[in-house]
Amino acid sequence: MDVLPTVWFIAVAALWIGYLILEGFDLGVGMHMLVSARGSAAEREGQRRVMLNTIGPVWDGNEVWLLVAGAGIFAAFPLWYASLFSALYIPLTLVLVGLIFRAVAIEYRGKHPGARWGRFWDWAIGLGSFVVAFGIGAGLALTTTGLPIDANGDRVGGPFAWLTWQAVLGGLAVVGFALVHSAAFLALKTTGPVRERMGAFVTKAAPVALLPIVAWVLLIQFTTGNVASWLLVVGAVVAIVLGYVAALRRREGRAFLGIAVFVALGAAAIFTAVYPVVLPSSLDPAFSLTVSREMAATGAAVYAGNSDYTLGVMTVVTAVALPVVLVYQVWSYWVFRKRLGAENLPAVHDIVPAVRG
């Protein structure tokens, strides 16, 4: 029976969608900090701090979605986890370095007033966010389009076998999406010049920046699409059109919502189209990893998942925990719901040794 593996396929998809929506704007804010501040040095610094503090209280909670998505794959489909993570060894190492620098930068940037200190951490946040967005996008694209894995699930073809046009497409897809999504988020969460510029960025950049993610969705649909996945694509198109119109009218809440629903339905369309295969092998379809025991029983692919007992335990834990997580995460957004402007930020204070003489 494929009930529990299917439940967990949906759960993993939901965790990734949650991650894309939530970290999508965190990563984009990081990149915008590097490229989208304008004006005098003091103005730029003010704008960067405004951007950073919109995600300040929530970014760490958002990042946990990545950890849980990764651990969820491990807990439910360990063969998928093992093959995908080892095949993507180099890009994931870079993603880890990006995550490390970004996390430390967010916490440390404001702990010292120097201009060079600030600049260094801006690069750490900006570049770190870019590398993470690109790497995660490439990884997700590859697990939906295929990797050269052998019968044991091990990558063949050397350390750069993953570097294909599909990987680049997926990387650009998440980077482009994060830039647009975060611009909508910043327009919604700030006042003053950041709000103006980011509101305009959404309408100017979206038609180009969202092309790669649209291309990725369509690529999957034309390969393995089905009626349900096409319906989701239609929903995604409706969402982005409504979101775009709202952005043109500077209805910031609706624009953000439209883009979030767009990526949720777009990603859902991809997962629906590839089901039940979670990692196609480009060497031999029989080496592909599937979440379907029935499919594996025919020899058409390898079952990547766990026993029903383990999946059942994880289902109970997730069914209890995840709704509670959603409640308190929503509450944290509610607590910090006010728009931020440069005038709201306390000055960065210097740390002077408490020493006499």
Give the footprint of another protein on residues 267-306 (CB under 8 A): 306
Among 6, 224, 310, 315, binds another protein (CB under 8 A): 310
Residue range at the interface with another protein (CB under 8 A); choices 214-222, 232-240, 249-257, 321-329: 321-329
Number of amino acids touching another protein (CB under 8 A): 90
Q: By CB under 8 A, is residue 164 in contact with another protein?
A: no
Residue range at the interface with another protein (CB under 8 A); choices 173-181, 220-228, 255-263, 311-319: 311-319
* Inter-residue contact 20 to 91 (CB < 8 Å): no
d(CA 49, CA 142) in angstroms, rounded, equals 35
For 227-283, what is the HEC assignment?
Answer: HHHHHHHHHHHHHHHHHHHHHHCCCHHHHHHHHHHHHHHHHHHHHHHHCCEEECECC
Minimum CB distance to another protein, residue 222 (Å): 30
Question: Mask of contacts with another protein, 213-252, x by CB under 8 A?
Answer: ----------------------------------------
**Edge-to-edge strand ranges of the sheet holding 289-290:** 277-279, 289-290, 302-303
Minimum CB distance to another protein, residue 30 (Å): 12
Closer residue to another protein, CB minimum distance, 67 or 231: 67
Minimum CB distance to another protein, residue 323 (Å): 11
- Lookup: tokens for 301: 């692919």
Among 10, 97, 168, 300, binds another protein (CB under 8 A): 97
Q: By CB under 8 A, is residue 35 in contact with another protein?
A: no
* Residue 115: how many other CB atoms lie within 10 Å: 9
Closest by CA to 122, choosing from 45, 198, 216, is 45
Minimum CB distance to another protein, residue 259 (Å): 23
Distances (CA, A) of 279 to 237, 251, 286, 326: 26, 40, 11, 29
Closer residue to another protein, CB minimum distance, 223 or 284: 284
Residue range at the interface with another protein (CB under 8 A); choices 227-235, 267-275, 281-289, 336-344: 336-344
Which residue carries 């960025």 as its tokens?
A: 201
d(CA 132, CA 140) in angstroms, rounded, equals 12
3-state class of 98 per DSSP? helix
* Inter-residue contact 144 to 94 (CB < 8 Å): no
Minimum CB distance to another protein, residue 6 (Å): 17
Closer residue to another protein, CB minimum distance, 204 or 349: 349
Among 228, 248, 297, 317, binds another protein (CB under 8 A): 317
d(CA 355, CA 162) in angstroms, rounded, equals 56
* Torsional class of 192: left (φ above 0), alpha (ψ -120 to 50), beta (otherwise): left
Q: By CB under 8 A, is residue 40 in contact with another protein?
A: no
Minimum CB distance to another protein, residue 357 (Å): 7
Q: By CB under 8 A, is residue 156 in contact with another protein?
A: yes
d(CA 112, CA 117) in angstroms, rounded, equals 7
Question: Mask of contacts with another protein, 110-149, x by CB under 8 A?
Answer: xxx------------------------------------x
